[in-house]
Structure 1
Amino acid sequence: MKITSVETFLVPPRWLFCRIATDEGIVGWGEPVVEGRAETVRAAVDELSDLLVGQDPRRVEDLWQLMTKAAFYRGGPVLSSAVAGLDQALWDILGKSLGAPVHQLLGGAVRDEVRVYGWIGGDEPSAVADAAAQQVESGLTAVKMNGSGRIGRMPTRQEVDGVVARLAAVREVLGDSRDVAVDFHGRFGVAAARRVIPELAPLHPLFVEEPVLPEYTHRLGDVVEASAVPIACGERLYSRTEFLPALQAGIAVAQPDLSHAGGISEVRRIASLAETFDALLAPHCPLGPIALASSLQVAFATPNFLIQEQSIGIHYNTDAELLDYVLDRAPFAFPDGAIRRWDAPGLGVDIDEDAVRAADRRGHRWRNPVWRHDDGSFAEW
């Protein structure tokens, strides 16, 4: 079997899909994207295709090594994301060629279902409470929320009270039997995170995500030591070597993104590394159906898995929805807050190729918002 072509598709609302075709008619799909830099990743995929066309797609590990190392300059979000999507597609082809789901090729399933959570938006307590109620009605047993909107690196007492009030409002809706995670999105400084997180502890968040920016990973240990609330991070870390200092700092939850951190191949290794630090895996995934399917395949086969993010119904997907690009929506249902394991070959998701090609003709130019503080200086989004 040989790879004959690699195509990419810029699909709304903000995604990039790739399609690897073979001379035996087997096709693999992947999702290589950096949100807001989709066109740049598309160029990287095109460059990497020179290493793939004519090769046997079933040699997944060998091709991963080539894509990540066969150039003098390596790493970074753009290259890692390009590799990630291509790696997903290669695993998809391998599974289809053997008539087996990817999780079986990873050693077999260790669970029958994967608990999932949904994102809730809004900066005011009433807004997030209403959004949490809607997610509960959809069947979810866990949600994730922003700790704040735009906020300074050293928030005022009033701003801190606002963070606590938002979480309290959501906790009241969820009760004690459901979970809520809080995303700081790197908006707080180290000192501020140390002060705020302990105030959230009585409300029992599942974890606090990205309390500080990834460039301050060397200070994560100070945040961990300041509170008993589990600390999570990893959506902006792209390899095992980048996760190592975060794990050494004592994070409880590793959150690699299957479309950013080298794909199924590398995230599987990150999960194993995390296990040696008694840390759990909760893959980041506010993306499309292929990224979610890839995440689920890893979750089905990973012993130290905790919970899976998914973006069905997420508030900022206004031009298209995750399920718009799949032929069969049933596998993604979560009536009891969990997605049941499926055993279809490869990634197990049927992509609507006609819808994808039509969407690519429309394309998109999504960019994340640019925020500023009241004094005109840059603010973290």
Structure 2
Amino acid sequence: MRITEIETYIAGNPWKNWLFCRLSTDEGISGIGEGTVNGFGKATEAAIHEMFQVVKGMDPFDTSRLSLLLFRDFFSDGGQIQGAALSAIETACWDIKGKALGVPLYQLLGGKVHDKLRVYANGWYQSEAGRTPEAFAEQAKEVVRRGYTALKFDPFGTAWRVVDRPEFHLTVDIVAAVRDAVGPDVDILIEGHNRFSVATALQFAEAIAPYQPSWFEAAVPPYRIASMVEVAHRSPVPIACGEDYYSREQFSELLSHDAVSVVQLEPQHMGLTAARDVVGMAHAHNAVIAPHSAQGPICSLVCAHLNAASPNFYLHEFFDEFNAEWEGRLLTHHLTQENGYVVPPEAPGLGADLNIDEILRHPYNPQNFLPLFRTGWEQRRGFESTH
């Protein structure tokens, strides 16, 4: 079997253009992948077509070799854009392998360890009432009513590095209100979006600790691993991170300090071959994984298969129920949550195909990205709505 061509499609989701691909072979079996990166849809699409020339004519079963060539042979650090393009191509190859062999993807990743995956809700806090404790509390109650036993939110508004005292107290009040709304047995997860200095992150960690969050995520920017490690060692709240990294080496350095115990690798920034290695590295360091799954619906499927086959799986991030209603029609199959759990598909490969007609109804828009440091970003309406 040989790879013959690739097609790319962008669905214009208002808060992040979703980039998909379909890879074809000379035996008529095709596979799908995703290369979504916030704010870089067209750039990553171009990277997919440039990088495709390296693998055209290769056997799609050779995923380890494909991954190596797409990462190493360009001899440039293309960061998340290169990683997402690599992942889109490589995921499509895994999908082809599963279809050719007649088995779901998780079987190719080692077989099922978990029959179902506990999920946490994200993307649910979009109240027209604005950023108030009351608005967060009411929405959190609705999330729990839907069956979720865990939920994540960013209570920090547009904060960056430091905050003034009124903002600090408002943020803590939001966390307290959500805890009061959902009760003591629901996991609340605090999203930091790489916002803070070490000192500010630790101040917040101390202040929210009484409300028992299960983790404080991406409390400081990822570029200086020493800063992340310092926060993790000193924080009374478990620190989670990893979504920004795109190589094994970054995770190796992070894990060598035995400070971060919740590893949020992003398969879409490195591909499944590298992601499996990172899962094993985390397992060896007694850490659990909660992969970042805040892209499109193929990303969610990929993470579900990876999680099902990972012994150290902790939680599955789930946006699907809080996206635009048409998102569920982009694929022939999508994950659905029931009583706080999802189950990966049993069909061969990823278990889904692209619905091209539906994708074409939602064209690319350069303003479709999440402007995290502009007022109203949590409404997830793209860049223009923040003005």
Q: Please, which moves more after superposition, 108-117 or 130-139?
A: 130-139
**Amino acid corresponding to residue 84 of structure 1 in structure 2:** S
- What is the CA–CA distance in structure 2 between the aligned matches of 1:335 and 1:301, rounded to whole Å? 20
Q: CA–CA distance in 2 between the matches of 1:132 and 1:246?
A: 32
Q: CA deviation at 1:370?
A: 6.7
The aligned residue for residue 327 of structure 1 is 332
Which one of 104, 108, 111 corresponds to residue 105 of structure 1? 108
**3-state SS in 1 of match to 2:64:** helix
Residue 186 (structure 2) pairs with residue 178 (structure 1): yes
Q: Which amino acid aligns with 2:262?
A: V
Q: What CA distance in whole angstroms lies between the structure 2 residues aligned with 1:112 and 1:32?
A: 27
* TM-score, L = length of structure 2: 0.90
Partner AA of 2:80 in structure 1: P
Summarize the Cα distance change of 1:163–1:257 in structure 2 as closer, same or farther, 3 Å threshold: same
- Aligned partner of 1:367 in structure 2 is 369
Q: Report the AA paired with residue 327 of structure 1.
A: T
1:29 corresponds in structure 2 to: 32
Q: Which amino acid is the alignment partner of residue 261 of structure 2?
A: A
Identify unmatched segments of 5+ residues in structure 2.
376-385
Aligned residue for 2:272? 264
Are 1:52 and 2:28 counterparts?
no
Aligned pair in 2 of structure 1 residues 71, 347: CA closer, same or farther (>3 Å)?
Answer: same
What's 1:71 paired with?
74
Q: Which residue is equivalent to 1:377?
A: none
In structure 2, how many angstroms separate the alpha carbons of the residues matched to 1:265 and 1:322? 27
Partner of 1:8: 8
Task: Report the alpha carbon displacement of residue 355 of structure 1 after superposing the two structures with TM.
Answer: 2.1
* Distance of 2:216 and 2:170 partners within structure 1: 16
User: Contact 2:19/2:41 (CA < 8 Å) preserved in 1?
Assistant: yes
- Select which of 336, 340, 362 maps to 2:339: 336
Among all aligned residue pairs of Structure 1 and Structure 2, give the percentage whose two residues are the same amino acid.
34
Match of 1:130 in 2: 138
Write the distance in 1 (CA, Å) between the matches of 2:198 and 2:300.
Answer: 31
**More displaced 10-residue stretch of structure 1: 160-169 or 97-106:** 160-169
Alpha-carbon distance between aligned partners in 2 of 1:72 and 1:341, rounded to the nearest angstrom? 36
Q: Which whole-Å CA distance do the structure 1 matches of 2:160 and 2:86 have between them?
A: 35
In structure 1, the residue corresponding to 2:174 is in which secondary structure?
helix
Structure 2 letter corresponding to 1:228: P
Whole-Å separation in 2 of the counterparts to 1:156 and 1:66: 48
Q: Does 2:263 correspond to 1:254? A: yes
| Aligned residue type for 2:8 | T
By how many angstroms is 1:48 displaced? 1.0
| Cα deviations by residue, 1:101-126 (Å, 9 ceiling, x for unpaired) | 11111111111001111113253211
Amino acid at match of 1:86: I
> What secondary structure is seen at the aligned counterpart in 1 of 2:223?
helix
Q: Which moved more, 1:141-150 or 1:66-75?
A: 66-75
Query: C-alpha separation between the residues in 1 aligned to 2:194 and 2:52?
Result: 34
Q: What is the identity, as a one-letter code, of the residue corresponding to 1:2?
A: R
Q: 2:229 maps to what in 1? A: 221
Instruction: Return closer, same or farther for 1:35/1:359 CA change in 2, 3 Å cut-off.
Output: farther
CA deviation string 1:48-81 (max 9, x = no partner): 1111221111111111111111122134111011
C-alpha contact (below 8 Å) 2:60/2:93 kept by paired residues: yes
Contact 1:218/1:245 (<8 A) preserved: no
- SS in structure 1 of the partner of residue 121 of structure 2: strand
Sort the Cα spacing of 1:152 and 1:263 in 2 relative to 1 into closer, same or farther, 3 A: closer
Distance 1:372 1:299 in 2: 33
* 3-state SS of 1:259 partner: helix
Q: Is the 8 A contact 2:33 2:88 kept in 1?
A: yes
AA paired with 1:364? N
> Which residue does the alignment assign to 2:288?
280
Per-residue deviation, 1:322:
3.0
TM-score (norm 1): 0.91
What does 1:138-217 align with in structure 2 at a 5 Å threshold?
Answer: 138-217=146-225
Q: Which residue of 2 aligns with 1:38?
A: 41
- Secondary structure, aligned partner of 1:214: coil
Q: Gapped runs of 5+ residues in structure 1?
A: 374-380
Partner of 1:245: 253
Label 1:227 to 1:30 Cα distance change in 2 as closer, same or farther (>3 A). Answer: same
Q: Over aligned residue pairs, what C-alpha RMSD do you find? A: 1.9
Q: Secondary structure at the match of 2:84?
A: helix
Secondary structure at the aligned position of 2:74 is classed as coil
**CA distances 1:172-191 after superposition (whole Å, capped 9, x unpaired):** 12112211100011111100
Checking the alignment, whether the CA contact within 8 Å between 1:313 and 1:321 is kept in structure 2 is: no
Match of 2:370, as an amino acid? N
CA distance in structure 2 between the partners assigned to 1:59 and 1:293 by the alignment = 21
Aligned with residue 319 of structure 2, among 306, 311, 317: 311
Q: CA deviation at 1:30?
A: 0.4
Q: For 2:246 and 2:214, locate their aligned partners in 1 and report how far apart those are by CA, in whole Å.
A: 23
Between the aligned partners of 1:225 and 1:7, the Cα distance in structure 2 is 46
- Aligned with residue 295 of structure 1, among 279, 293, 303: 303
Aligned to 2:20: 17
Q: Is the 8 A contact 1:7 1:18 kept in 2?
A: yes
Q: CA–CA distance in 1 between the matches of 2:79 and 2:61?
A: 25
User: Corresponding residue for 2:378?
Assistant: none
The alpha-carbon distance between structure 1 residues 370 and 113, as it changes in their structure 2 partners (threshold 3 A), is: closer
